[in-house]
Amino acid sequence: MSKKHKVKHPKRKQLGSLKYQISQLRVEPSDQKSKKPMPVSTVKQYKKHTQEFGAWCKERYKCKTVNACKKHIQDYSDYLRASGKSASTIHTYLAGVCRVLDVPLDTINKPIRVVADNTRSRGTKAVDERKDSGREVSPRLYDFASIVGIRRNEYLHLTPDDLVFDDFAHPCVLVRKGKGGKRQLQRILPDELPAIKAVFDNPANEEHLFSRDELKNKIDLHHLRALRAQKMYRYYLDRIETETGYRAQLISEIRHIWEQDDEARKSNGYRAKRWSDMKVAGNYVLRGNNRKLAQKHGLPMKYDRLALLAVSIFHLSHWRHDVTVANYLLAV
């Protein structure tokens, strides 16, 4: 007679715990009309920050329910600020808490995020001195990342079949499920193709281009991504300024990708982005703290909008000038 497997149920005490209550909350997309669920990784991150908030409420205010915690989100924001957390970190924490607890983020008073305060991949940090942070730790990954410039977790999911060509015959690395679950084509230059093809011809195994061991290091892949963005901005700007007809060609390619993305967004229940020729006209001019940061490091005070958008779409899977400038072109 076969043994019956006992199904483990949460104990009564666990069922009523604050931790359990948070774990059972459903996280809805920001766009309520969307038919597409939020990516699992995003939900996990939001729940993680909310569990940390819940533990803080329980310790400090003896909260036992989610509703009791809600009135302390502002207190938590003040606590994070007093603890020395950056404006960007506070925003990240509160964004998750507010989404999970269904509280409008704009009702919480928090410090304004300023690009100049963002220290990610800027300057020299202790981690940069570690033995596992240099090229020698994983030359194959380092050299590939210097050209492709995707996010760390995206390297783990690349397969030997992900070297492709886009609708304009540009060689690309296909990221099947990037940030937010989006599919993206990461462009590479024709003269870079042999080096990238050599990696694809020698994958870690039949299913993955890179092994998990190759990713177990402290190489600053975000910094390599930023350097790539800076290189490609110079590349597009040079061609725009020196090649007759290239500006029109680049606009045509960007609009094609833009419209494809709009169709995908609409099919998934999201609102389409509105194209405007102003997105590729003139210059994006730095102001405020961003301008001070650029002046301090001898960087340009303005950027060509067309070249910026090309970098954003073809190399970063972003759609906004300010994100590209803030997190990549000013990363020094």
Domain positions in the chain: 12-113, 135-216, 221-332
Summarised one tens digit per residue, pLDDT across range 213-227 is 999 888 889 989 999
Phi and psi, residue 312, nearest 5°:
-60, -50
Measure the CA angle with vertex 121, ends 115 and 125; round to 5°.
120
pLDDT mean over 265-285? 85
Top mean pLDDT of 154-158, 174-178, 265-269 is at 154-158
pLDDT mean over 178-187? 84
Give me the pLDDT at residue 114, please.
56
Ramachandran region, residue 173 (left: φ > 0; alpha: ψ -120 to 50; beta: rest): beta
pLDDT mean over 173-193? 89
pLDDT mean over 174-183? 83
Measure the CA angle with vertex 48, ends 52 and 86; round to 5°.
65
Give me the pLDDT at residue 234, please.
95
Give me the pLDDT at residue 307, please.
97
Comparing 115 with 103, the larger pLDDT belongs to 103
Q: Which CATH class is domain 12-113?
A: mainly alpha
Nearest to 331 by CA among 187, 116, 135: 116
Nearest to 138 by CA among 225, 222, 210, 193: 210
The pLDDT of residue 72 is above 70: yes
The pLDDT of residue 108 is above 90: no
Give me the pLDDT at residue 135, please.
82
The pLDDT of residue 55 is above 70: yes
The pLDDT of residue 6 is above 60: no
The pLDDT of residue 168 is above 50: yes
Give me the pLDDT at residue 126, please.
40
Q: How far apart are CA 315 and CA 296, in angstroms?
A: 27
Per-residue confidence band for 166, with pLDDT thresholds at 50, 70 and 90:
very high
What's the mean per-residue pLDDT of the chain?
84
The pLDDT of residue 177 is above 60: yes
The pLDDT of residue 286 is above 80: yes
Give me the pLDDT at residue 122, please.
47
The answer to whether the CB of 226 falls within 8 A of the CB of 327 is yes
User: What DSSP character marks residue 179?
Assistant: G
pTM over 0.85, yes/no: no
Comparing 245 with 86, the larger pLDDT belongs to 245
The pLDDT of residue 88 is above 60: yes
The pLDDT of residue 232 is above 70: yes
Flag the least confident range among 29-38, 111-120, 206-215, 226-235. 111-120
Report CA-CA distances (Å) from 4 to 7, 14, 44. Answer: 9, 24, 32
The pLDDT of residue 184 is above 80: yes
The answer to whether the CB of 300 falls within 8 A of the CB of 62 is no
